[in-house]
Amino acid sequence: MSLQPAATMLICSVFSATAAATEWIVDNDHSRLGFIATYDGVGLEARFEHFEARIRFDPQHPEEGVFDVVVDITSVNSDSADRDEGMLGLEWFNAKKFPQARFVSTGFRQTGAGAFEVAGRLTIKGITHSIGLPFAWSGVDNGARLKGKTILQRTDYKIGIGEWESDPIIGFEVEIVVDLHLKGKH
Amino acid sequence: MILGMFVLGWIAVNYPMSPTKIKLFVWHKSLGISILILVLLRIAWRLTDRTPALPNHMRTWERRLAHTSHMLMYLVMVTMPLSGWVINSAANFPLKLYGLIRLPNIAPAGKALQTQAELVHFTFFWILVALLLLHIGAALWHHFVQRDEILTRMLPGTTRRLRKAAD
């Protein structure tokens, strides 16, 4: 365990000049980017219908990876028209002023077989924090699948202000769920 | 309980979006499901138990009106919580009884269904208000104008005495 990453790093640094990380295209029909919040302690799922993801990643050379994901906040869908409208409001996402969220990777590391973690800067509502997103990478016929999740504190991004800031009826912890089906770009 | 539901429901609907509004609705939903359970028990009781006979002096139309309004009250008391449950399901909100017992959704998520169920909930609310006024008005009329035992026999402990007297 202790030797392998070091060995991988060494091999990678030797070959990095020649091995370009693979560029991937998101298969939007089968991919999901969203979150699970809680309402009165019960999980509520929501997803973003529109997002643009630039994914460069080669599991053999994770350190060369680049993730740049721009999310259209207004495309939020939690199967409840009223709630979706509410989420875009001033107290929550304030989508009029901040229609987009963005994640830009700053580094990658391998944590196990097919398991990686990307560190990056996540900006929501104009507020940026460094986060880590552990993910599993698997090759599937002619493509790849990226599955990851991480937990954020909504209050870090001022999502839910006023009374919502201190009231746990809408839970403070929000799980980010990413499941991308990717096709190779040629 | 039903009066409490009127008040809670009315305040919750008109309250600005806030944690308090959610909590008012959580209480409204918990009480609503409790009433549904109690009403179903009451209907089972009513179907299996002997109902005290109406006073002899009542005319046919009075009997019919009393019977119909009672049946309608049961119908409304079942429809109110059920339509509320459909609204909650169609709006895709979780339902947890008193913050403890998780109940499933009974309808698919969808705005059109939500709007229809809201219309039913709202219409039946007013029907229930009318029925209750009729019910209370009739009970008072029986007591003060007809001077019969209709109102007093609704009180606990009087049924047995009345039944004994009738035997």
Which of B:82-101 have CB within 8 Å of A? 91-94, 96, 99
CATH class of A21-184: mainly beta
**Average pLDDT rounded to a whole number, residues B62-69:** 90
- Residue B42 within a domain: yes
Q: What's the token pair of residue A53?
A: 């993801």
Mean pLDDT value across chain B: 89
Q: How many domains does chain B have?
A: 1
Residue A50 has pLDDT above 50, yes or no: yes
B156 in a structural domain: no
Q: Whole-angstrom Cα distance, residue B131 to residue A172?
A: 45
Where are the strands (E) in A74-124, listed by range? 76-77, 100-112, 115-124
| Interface contact flag, A80 B109, Cβ < 8 Å | yes
Interchain contact A167–B (C-beta under 8 A): yes
Dig out the tokens for A178 from the structure: 């990413």
pLDDT digits (tens, 9 = 90+) for A94-133: 999 999 999 999 999 999 999 999 999 999 999 999 999 9
What angle (nearest 5°) sits at the alpha carbon of residue B107, between those of residues B106 and B110? 150
Q: Is B16 on the interface with A (CB under 8 A)?
A: no
Query: Is the residue at B28 inside a domain?
Result: yes
- For residue B83, the enclosing domain spans 2-47+60-133
Q: Phi and psi dihedrals of A8, rounded to 5? A: -60, -45
Tokens linked to B67: 């019977």
Percent of chain A with pLDDT over 90: 81
ipTM of the complex model:
0.75
Is B17 within 8 Å of chain A by CB? yes
Lowest model confidence (mean pLDDT) among A8-12, A85-89, A150-154, B25-29: A8-12
First and final CA of chain A: distance in angstroms?
Answer: 35
| Domain range list for chain A | 21-184
What does the alpha-carbon distance between residue A82 and residue A87 come to, in Å, rounded to a whole number? 9
Instruction: Locate B90 and state its tokens.
Output: 């169609």
At A70-90, the pLDDT tens digits run 999 999 999 999 999 999 999
Residue B161: half-sphere exposure toward Cβ, Cα within 13 Å: 8
* % pLDDT > 90, chain B: 65
In a domain, residue B124? The reply is yes
Looking at residue B158, its pLDDT comes to: 59
When pLDDT is cut at 50, 70 and 90, the band that residue A140 belongs to is confident
